[in-house]
A and B are shown apart, each in its own frame.
Chain A
Amino acid sequence: MHIRLSVLATRWLAAVLLATFAGVSLAADAGHLKTVKGSAHIERDGKQVPAAAGMAILESDTLVTGADGSMGVTMADNCLLSVGPNSTLAIEKYAFDSTTHAGSFDASLEQGTLAVVSGKMVKQSPDAMRVRTPATVMAVRGTEFVVKVGQ
């Protein structure tokens, strides 16, 4: 009986651990918010989350700033992103394997200003990162750049 119980307990523990790790890998942080100024929030699952330095940024998040706002994010592959005032930037797709440095990153700047310093995944494969704007698609081949959409 004791043996049976301990087997059950072990299985239960294994299941819990597995679920925990699965959860972690599913909701892996794409990046972390490092700088926040003025009015700024994250749109996540249709809700507005107030931006706070230190918080995790996830795939499918949209960064939104007001007239006095700005935000800066460090992504898992060491890519740096920041937006200035009146900006909307969607993290449409983000995947990065920290062992192989393979990954892909699609972001979309709907309006405002964006600064980018590309990270490890672009060094690994030059076509891994794309930034869309209403007029163009930018293929980032290992570089730093700024872009402004609107007046």
Chain B
Amino acid sequence: MGAVLIGLYAAAAMFFSPPPPQTVVILPGPDGHVGTLVVQRGGDETVLNAPYSASRIAADGTENRAQLSATAVKQEFGSALGALPARPVSFNLYFISGKDELTEPSKLELDKAMAELKRRPVPDIVVIGHTDTVGSLESNDQLSLARAERVRNALVQQGLAAERIFAAGRGEREPLVRTADGVAEPRNRRVEVNVR
């Protein structure tokens, strides 16, 4: 009943005031991959899945497919595209066994993460600590949180706003590499830094 009413209302609205014209363009991602966008209009569907392919609906309601160029899209949609936030990135930092101390290569990786963070005017950061399966569940919960807090403190010391950094420990629950209990696995002794 509700759907019928909505349908009638939509039909009446279309009859009395036609919708404004519209253009939809599907874009390739940074890696060139193109997804799929289904444009539904009444019972009709237009599937867009090739780079810069477009559906244009004119003021009189006619729909045309079009193939645009990257340049044309930039001209027509430059302001919106220019306002897109930086893409989320994440970094893995690795730790010395049983400690909340970074490995030497990960100290450099932390500097890289820091540089990326400083490029963002209002970064939101989630820091999640993990351990391998050496030690008890409880001690690993503590160790994973200590690792996350250690990274959080390093970020705060570099001048990032503490209230924009969330830190948590997941203990040995989310290993990068599955192992039996009691296995020292360097890849699991890590902190993920998710930057948005």
Within 8 A of B (CB), among A87-139: 87, 111, 113-115, 117-118, 133-139
What interface size band does chain B fall in?
35 or more
Q: List A contacts of B88 (CB < 8 A).
A: 74, 78
Contact with A along B55-99 (1 / 0, CB 8 A): 001000000000000000100111111111111100000000000
Structural contact, B73 and A146, CB atoms closer than 8 A: yes
Q: When the two chains form the complex, which single residue of B39, B41, B73, B83 contacts A71, counting CB atoms closer than 8 Å?
A: B83
Are A144 and B24 touching (Cβ within 8 A)?
no
Residues of A within 8 A of B36 (CB): 141-143
Structural contact, A144 and B85, CB atoms closer than 8 A: no
Q: How far is the CA of A24 from the CA of B74 in the complex (A)?
A: 39
Per the bound structure, the CA–CA distance linking A62 and B57 in Å amounts to 25
Interface extent on A, as a size class? 35 or more
Whether A73 contacts B85 by the Cβ 8 Å rule is: yes
**Chain B proximity of A145: nearest CB distance (Å):** 5
B29 interface residue (CB < 8 Å to A): yes
In the complex the two chains form, what is the Cα distance from A114 to B39 in whole Å?
Answer: 15
CB of B7 within 8 Å of the partner chain: no
Roughly how many angstroms separate A114 CA and B24 CA in the complex, as a whole number? 10
A34: B residues at CB distance < 8 A: 85-86, 120-122, 196
Closest residue on chain B to residue A151 by CB atoms = B21
Given the interface contacts A32-B196, A74-B124, A135-B41, does A82 sit within 8 Å of B73 by beta carbon?
no
Query: In the assembled complex, how far is the CB of residue A59 from the closest CB belonging to chain B, in whole angstroms?
Result: 18
Q: Is the CB of B19 within 8 A of A115?
A: no
Q: Are A111 and B20 interface neighbours, CB within 8 A?
A: yes
Q: How far is the CB of A61 from chain B (nearest CB, A)?
A: 16
Distance in angstroms between the alpha carbons of A42 and B19 in the assembled complex? 24
Nearest 10 Cβ contacts at the A-B interface: A143-B35, A84-B79, A34-B85, A134-B19, A84-B80, A135-B19, A54-B122, A70-B83, A82-B83, A141-B36
